[in-house]
Chain A
């Protein structure tokens, strides 16, 4: 799980082109949207694509978005629970 969280942080910084933020600056339980990293709806689309590209996971329902993308840790937990076995 720790490696997955570290990988996710790096992928988020790269995919969203976050300026002046290093992967290690993002807390595992830090909110990604609004009061935390301050991400917005366009970033949410980028994160959905990130899940598909890197982990071959399609979000089952748009309603799950706020829960899945709440923090890096919740993303990692969702990936662990849904990742296909051969990836």
Chain B
């Protein structure tokens, strides 16, 4: 829809503004990768390892090459010299040897690892060819579970003598002393299952090589096109300027789509080697086995308390299965789980060891709220158990430990080895505010009577929990603002649109700053052709970083307008005032913006910031558990967060609600199950059970802007991930509360009907 025109100047930010993108999407005018084709293009398909661990003996593609319409089969032997490995986004001193090669040469390390690429006239023919390639692999013992991996009996990388690339230590204060002085401690073990982000649009690329210019163009960019351009150029041994990344519409990212994957290189390699455009669209089965997995984390953690329920310390170990290789941001969830497990609580002493271990599973990466969802589940389960153990009300124990505004900025644990962000601190906020809002809005006082009650065959339970969300990942974002011939303002942003409504948000900010109607702002984004340098959309950064860069550009744009207007009016710059797109003098003469088109305005804006923002909030769940089927119904779910400054209440609401529902998928149904041999048992959306539109009808969201972030001129905070973070802990605690008469401990996710029923049955058998 077009934005409503009744908005007065300077009032777009904070409004309930319909997305400008939707005008295009709802008319079927979106341009996704699959909508783009080139004459003479070849389609790629990938032969993937059918085993988890093995040595490649032979690849015979002769039968495939004999098929009509099949042009080439690329294997590791076609790559000259060393097989390139994918650069890290967040390097640390020990992960180098674990980087992912872009194709398997001698050894395969996971089910789904690319071993060959077929190029054919159509995707169907390419898939036919996959079926007749003879692939001979000597299998090796698969390393699947944590115990097997960490024993180092079978090594994934013979040249390094351990399956543990990094152990991160999160430290603050003196944890040993805190535990020695504690009146009460609670220790338990937890597990969050392996999942993936599952964007609706699978990955895809269209690579074109211009031999005359020596230029590579890659369409299908997402998330971080500028980093990927650098990575591609480095691996291709091309100058950076010789590679363009082109962003089309993107059907979701959630941390997984847009990272650099092996197929990205191979598709481009094919285009360059054969001089044909090469297109590849991932199918859902290979998506499940090849895109970054996440969340597989077990823990053994402990909290120390004083007798009045004040947290004194936290310690323990986390173990993250990062899969067969360390991908560009494969360590992010590991170090995040350690740094952010304390979350919204005042924990003066911390010592956590977070182990990343490799296994013969798909390599892992980030998924919305990486590490934070896991850590929140662990600490919220401990908080409820501590409340019971200490005999303190579950609300009261949280009130005694939530961080207050007076303590800001509040430092979290320091994480070493450093990947560039060892230290961080919550920037602003009063955590009790959303907490008390949720207590009130959830009607806790009345619902407390339902706890553990059996009503119409179902046990009712409630729970509450809080979270923090990191956002505004640094270091910088750039935009360029240009006055177009039609008098509209072109805004070229380094930020990427991944379906989150970027064009709307940046238009609102620009329109307010320039005092122009939103319709006069045109946003171009995500392609490397628009700017010399940019960063993209990850770590909930686009609004804060891109939006602040827009403010900078707008200031320069208005200054340039003044200069041109003053010249035309024959006055000094000081004599000109600009408002609502018109420059005026005191004696009533004026020049509208459209009149200076010939003079030209083209300015660069940027925003540098290494200090993350921390949105924070609280959520509540009321569940009913059917002990006969193990089914858990979410009867009510309330979440409140403080995002510093609301730019668009409508898109924000969508982010928070969408994240909460995505979280229900995490808690109840989504799981990437592997067999003991390392076969992925999930091959389609009939097995990978994401929430459907009708599954969770009741989610209520409230957003606050009581404590703006001091880190940026908007006062905004990243807000795209927070909604998913508390869902695991809060729902599990609500289920524990419902089933309190059985004494079950829902410490292992997902809470599938089978698992819930078995917890009850096992508790009954023990009783």
Say whether A and B bind each other.
no
Residues on B facing A (Cβ under 8 Å): none
